[in-house]
Amino acid sequence: MQKQTEIYMKQNHMTRPGDGVLVGLSGGADSVGLLLVLWKLRETFQISLRALHVHHGLRGAEADRDAAFSRMLCERLEVPFYEFRIDAAKEALDRKCSVEEAGRQARYRLYEETALAWEEEMCPDLTSENAGEKEAAAARVHIATAHHADDNAETVLFNLFRGSGLTGLSGIAPVRGRIIRPLLWAQRSEIQTWLRQQGQDWVEDSTNQESEYSRNWLRNELLPAVEERLNAQAVRHIDQAGRRIRQADAYLEEVAEEWLQKHAPDGKADAGALAEQAEIVQGYIVRRLFLKSKMPLRDVTETHVQAVRELLHQGTGKSISLPHGFRAVNIYGFLEVRPLSHPGERKGVLLPGIQNGNLLQMHTFPCEKGDEFPKNQYTKWFDYDKIKGTLSLRHRQPGDYLTLPSGGRKMLKSWMIDEKIPRQEREEIWLLAEEKHILWIVGHRISAYYKITEQTKTILEVEFNGGKSSG
């Protein structure tokens, strides 16, 4: 373990002599293994170590135990220890995201703030006048996280099933900015075996054994079954494939950027020239157009990219509505991605008064001839003119119904039975409703009554931020 980690860190140029490394320490086997192996390598790499633990305000006494364990481990190793406490549930409400995502964002924010403070401590006389010279010579603080090969395999599969491009399929990078991942080469079982050999224990987060979350299901059920029934080295092979994909991804990003500098210096891409590129290169160029237009790439899938690529072969004025309030449009042979609030268009308006609105982003905008809407599980478009009452985001109630394409009504209960929705999941599915009329069974389907038609004048775009239909 120690030797392989040393080789991996050198191959990926993770640290320099004199650097500081801030270790994210949860108390679990992965982060304990990371701290211990770096502690054993600290003289080899001539680095200084500190550790940071975040108490998320969840799991009660178990979380208190994890914090106490992490503190005592650092005291034994004589590693300076930081502990921060947050209210992850409250942050999730404030940030309009899942508790899991809110905790992740808070951790990385605290990592970054602590690393910056440590750098200032290392080089207190750094000023704007001498910044260039000092930064070149000053020791740098890195943030070490305990991601390993199993995490990488889970990430590759998760993105594959969601419809990701090569960027998502490349998995977790060993180095990203100041973040380093020294154990990315190792499997979870190898880390635990090494810790036992060292006589080092760790604590277990009981929620890791629950398969309610998608990643836990991949970790606890899918990957073990694949290793048992198909190939015992499946995780290793997925990790290797991710590395090869990462190399291809980096090359194609360079090709796309060079093309844009030549054919779209002002952000408007020559549709004819773009159509002549290989299909995979077209996809990379479209994604870079998203970035240049400041469109968030969160939840962007191949479906959106394909929908934009199809505009290359359509006439002027044709457009595609995209998530996050953006539109792609073909104007006289030039492809442009722009926000709906672009000059000359009416700005989208956030609808007030909706219950559970923290889980939704809702905008209205004029319907234009030629608008097309890519299929997206968690972003939908409705005929706003047909909505007469107040909308609510809620779980099912007696009497709920939706409209079928034939025009007839179907009770929600009957629909769930016909779709074989497990009984225990029916109460957890989010519904966007106008009184008893269901506009959208989130993650599944919308009511035919509210679909956009040639008569639609105003469109309502609804993006669900809960990450899954069960909220």
Q: Which amino acid is at 45?
A: F
CA distance 455 to 439: 18
**19 annotated as a binding-site residue:** no
H/E element holding 190? helix 188-198
φ, ψ of residue 256 to 5 degrees: the values are -65, -40
CA distance 91 to 57: 11
**289: which residues sit within 8 A by CB, 6+ positions away?**
260, 264, 267, 269, 308, 328, 335, 336, 337
240 - beta bridge partners?
A: none
**48 annotated as a binding-site residue:** no
The answer to whether 437 touches 449, Cβ cutoff 8 Å, is yes
**266 annotated as a binding-site residue:** no
Beta strand ranges found along 111-266 (DSSP E) = 141-144, 175-176, 179-180
Tokens of residue 413, six digits? 């209960």
**55-182-287-245 Cα dihedral, nearest 10 degrees:** -140
**29 annotated as a binding-site residue:** yes
Q: Which three-class secondary structure state does DSSP give residue 268?
A: coil
User: Half-sphere exposure of 89 toward its Cβ, with a 13 Å CA cutoff?
Assistant: 4
Q: Give the residue carrying structure tokens 């599980």.
A: 377
**26 annotated as a binding-site residue:** yes
The answer to whether 225 touches 256, Cβ cutoff 8 Å, is no
CA distance 106 to 447: 38
Binding-site entries for ATP: 26-31
Binding-site entries: 26-31
